[in-house]
Amino acid sequence: MDFEGRRYHLIGVGGVGMSALAQTLLDAGAVVSGSDRLLDSGGASSVFSVLRAAGVRLFPQNGEGVRSDLDAVIASTAVESGNADLEAAARRHIPVLHRAEMLARRVEGRRLIAVAGTAGKTTVAGMIGFLLEQLGFDPLVVNGGVVVNWDRSDRIGGARAGRGTWAVIEADESDRSLLRFSPTWAVLTNVSKDHFELEEVAALFRDFAGRAAEGIVADAAATATLGAASAGRRRRVEPPELTDFNSAPGGVGFRYRGRPARLAMAGRHNAENARLALAAVEAIGGETEAAVAALGRFRGIRRRLEVVGHINGATIVDDYAHNPAKIGASWSAVADGAKRVLGVWRPHGFGPLALMFEELADAFAAAMRADDRLYLLPVYYAGGTARGDRTSEELAAAVRGRGRAAAAVADYGELERTLRGDLCNGDAVLVMGARDPELPAFCRRLAGVAPDSGGNGQAGAPCSL
């Protein structure tokens, strides 16, 4: 499809998926504008600065950005009926397209690698895109997170403007939009309960895998879930088992097909992610030794166990974890090397909190050690019709009932005061959650509270635990 000169308006353009779509449409020659609820209240975000520098015109979400010369308005499933931009589009008879539909049009004519899974898909998609770039494939990439290697002040690092025959995308199951894609290769990271009950999630991934033209990359557990979807003429690729795993400051190490590999990301789960990415690159013809060497140059994904700074000898880590599997993996990764983990989590919606309530309480209790602590912010609510059936106070009580220290805090001010009074030398503060743009901003604000000393912060006082 020819995008040159076409005009698109993206609702919720500050989100990770929409901002990457905006960037890739700009790369294709389109004229892009966007709105965001955060702009309605005069809120600021570093994403807005990057979008403006890239050429996106930004508007409040009040309909004023929906002009009569638009070719389409683009929205995600999160945008509810009654939205002012949607109503303006209806009045002006402007087509409204789902984000996934526009992304599918953007990758038309490319050989597509689509990465799906309950956890890890952003990291795996970013790794595959980066490795293919390093191996000379020049891929087009549209990801749900910022690849640190591609992050710049004038473009969104979740998208890469490649001219090669391959494209790499992250495919989302939360709204079933992954079924809008017919990939050449499907990559499935894992299957667990998240936005839907487990059986419904598994059925979605089976349908997704069944749309792959040539092959499927998945480990043994995910392959078992796929069942007949991996049969027929499609190749089925299972990566080799992870061997000689070791954790060290600044990342992890392991062996891949006997070759020593290094990754500048913490956690065994990220080594597992790398294993999938390497297998996918091999599956389309990438050379193993070169791919393993390139992995050592991958600097990670923004908000995936991202160390943003230090305060009083404690390390501040920003992470996107928002479901039980991700929370458990991130907590365990940070605990490896920290005296205590002071975890912060903000539920990203009333619906997900209610759906996963017991699993979340179990995940926190299982990951936390005796001296670790959990602080829960109020449920993030960006407007709409969601019902507040469960609260952060109830979740904190459920975690306490499982024998771990947990408390709800009223707001970021109380959270900051509490953490500053509790931090000790050798602690790690793990801030987790999706959707709320204040989470990464809070991490950076907290890391800047105490003067930095050689990147390690001030020496903290000994803890009395």
Residue 460 predicted with pLDDT over 60? no
pLDDT of residue 73: 98
CB 166 within 8 A of CB 139: yes
Counted residue by residue, the chain has a size of 465
- Give me the amino acid identity at 356: M
pLDDT of residue 343: 97
Q: Which of 269, 242, 222 is nearest to 127 (CA)?
A: 269
Residue 461: inside a domain: no
The structural domain count of the chain equals 3
Residues 189 and 287 reside in one and the same domain: yes
Residue 1 predicted with pLDDT over 90? no
Among 77-91, 120-134, 288-302, the least confident range = 77-91
Residue 261: inside a domain: yes
Residues 222 and 119 reside in one and the same domain: yes
- Which whole number is the average pLDDT over 73-81? 87
- Residue where one domain finishes, among candidates 74, 99, 124: 99
Residues 34 and 174 reside in one and the same domain: no
Domain span at 37: 7-99
Residue 174 predicted with pLDDT over 80? no
pLDDT of residue 191: 82
Residues 328 and 435 reside in one and the same domain: yes
Residue 290: inside a domain: yes
Residues 288 and 202 reside in one and the same domain: yes
Q: Of 144-153, 157-166, 224-233, 456-465, where does the model show the most confidence?
A: 157-166
Residues 342 and 279 reside in one and the same domain: no
- Which whole number is the average pLDDT over 159-171? 96
Query: How many Cα neighbours within 13 Å face the side chain of 341?
Result: 27
- Which whole number is the average pLDDT over 438-456? 65
Q: Is 296 left (phi over 0), alpha (psi -120 to 50) or beta?
A: alpha
Residue 456: inside a domain: no
Cα distances from 145 to residues 14, 126, 268, 286, 327, in angstroms, run 12, 8, 20, 23, 17
Query: How many Cα neighbours within 13 Å face the side chain of 80?
Result: 7
CA atoms of 97 and 93, how far apart (whole Å)? 13
Among 29-38, 125-134, 140-149, 387-396, the least confident range = 387-396
Q: Which of 58, 98, 64, 102 is nearest to 78 (CA)?
A: 98
Inter-axis angle of helices 268-283 and 121-134, to 10 degrees? 50
> 399 falls in which pLDDT band (50, 70, 90)?
very high
pLDDT of residue 176: 82
Residue 86: inside a domain: yes
Terminal Cα distance for the chain, rounded? 62
Residue 442 predicted with pLDDT over 50? yes
Please give the share of the chain, as a percent, with pLDDT higher than 90: 68
Residue 302 predicted with pLDDT over 60? yes
According to DSSP, the residues that pair with 34 across neighbouring strands are 10, 58
- Which whole number is the average pLDDT over 426-437? 92
Residue 130: inside a domain: yes
> pLDDT per residue over 255-297, tens digit each?
999 999 999 998 898 999 999 999 999 999 999 999 999 999 9
Residues 327 and 440 reside in one and the same domain: yes
Cα distances from 424 to residues 86, 308, 427, 455, in angstroms, run 49, 17, 6, 16
Residue with tokens 């069944």: 210
Residues 260 and 359 reside in one and the same domain: no
**3 state SS of 376:** strand
According to DSSP, the residues that pair with 260 across neighbouring strands are 255
pLDDT of residue 383: 64
Query: How many Cα neighbours within 13 Å face the side chain of 215?
Result: 13
- Give me the amino acid identity at 408: A
CA atoms of 5 and 214, how far apart (whole Å)? 34
Cα distances from 321 to residues 86, 431, 454, in angstroms, run 30, 9, 29
Strands 314-319 and 57-60: unpaired
443 Cβ neighbours under 8 A, 6+ residues apart: 308, 309, 316, 317, 318, 429, 431
* The pair of three-digit structure tokens given for residue 379, joined into one six-digit string: 């449920």
If residue 273 lies in a helix (H) or strand (E), which one and from where to where? helix 268-283
Torsion of CA 13, 14, 16, 22, to 10 degrees: 40
- A 10 A CB-CB count for 12 gives 23
Among 37-41, 95-99, 414-418, 450-454, the least confident range = 450-454
Residues 197 and 322 reside in one and the same domain: no
CB 277 within 8 A of CB 294: no
Residue 155 predicted with pLDDT over 50? yes
* The pair of three-digit structure tokens given for residue 83, joined into one six-digit string: 């939205």
CA atoms of 21 and 51, how far apart (whole Å)? 11
- Which whole number is the average pLDDT over 371-392? 84
- Which whole number is the average pLDDT over 153-170? 96
Residues 310 and 402 reside in one and the same domain: yes
Residues 31 and 124 reside in one and the same domain: no
Cα distances from 353 to residues 194, 303, 402, in angstroms, run 10, 21, 18
CA atoms of 162 and 23, how far apart (whole Å)? 12
Which strands form 259-263's sheet, in the order they lie side by side? Answer: 243-248, 251-256, 259-263
- 3-state DSSP helix/strand/coil % of the chain, to nearest 5: 35, 20, 40
Residue 386 predicted with pLDDT over 70? no
What CATH number is attached to the domain comprising 144?
A: 3.40.1190.10
Residue 448 predicted with pLDDT over 90? no
**3 state SS of 272:** helix
pLDDT of residue 203: 85
Residue 449 predicted with pLDDT over 70? no
Residue 87 predicted with pLDDT over 70? yes
Residue 462: inside a domain: no
Among 17-26, 323-332, 413-422, the least confident range = 323-332
Residues 263 and 211 reside in one and the same domain: yes
pLDDT of residue 224: 84
What CATH number is attached to the domain comprising 18?
A: 3.40.50.720
- Residue where one domain finishes, among candidates 46, 77, 99: 99
Residue 56 predicted with pLDDT over 80? yes
* The pair of three-digit structure tokens given for residue 171, joined into one six-digit string: 């495919």
Which strands form 159-160's sheet, in the order they lie side by side? Answer: 159-160, 140-142, 166-170, 111-116, 185-188, 215-218, 235-237
Cα 89 vs. chain centroid, distance in angstroms?
30
Residue 173 predicted with pLDDT over 80? no
- Which whole number is the average pLDDT over 382-407? 87
Residue 333: inside a domain: yes
- Residue where one domain finishes, among candidates 66, 99, 132: 99
Average pLDDT, the chain: 89
Residue with tokens 């829960």: 376
Whether the pTM exceeds 0.85: the reply is no
pLDDT of residue 425: 92
> pLDDT per residue over 180-202, tens digit each?
999 999 999 988 665 567 777 88
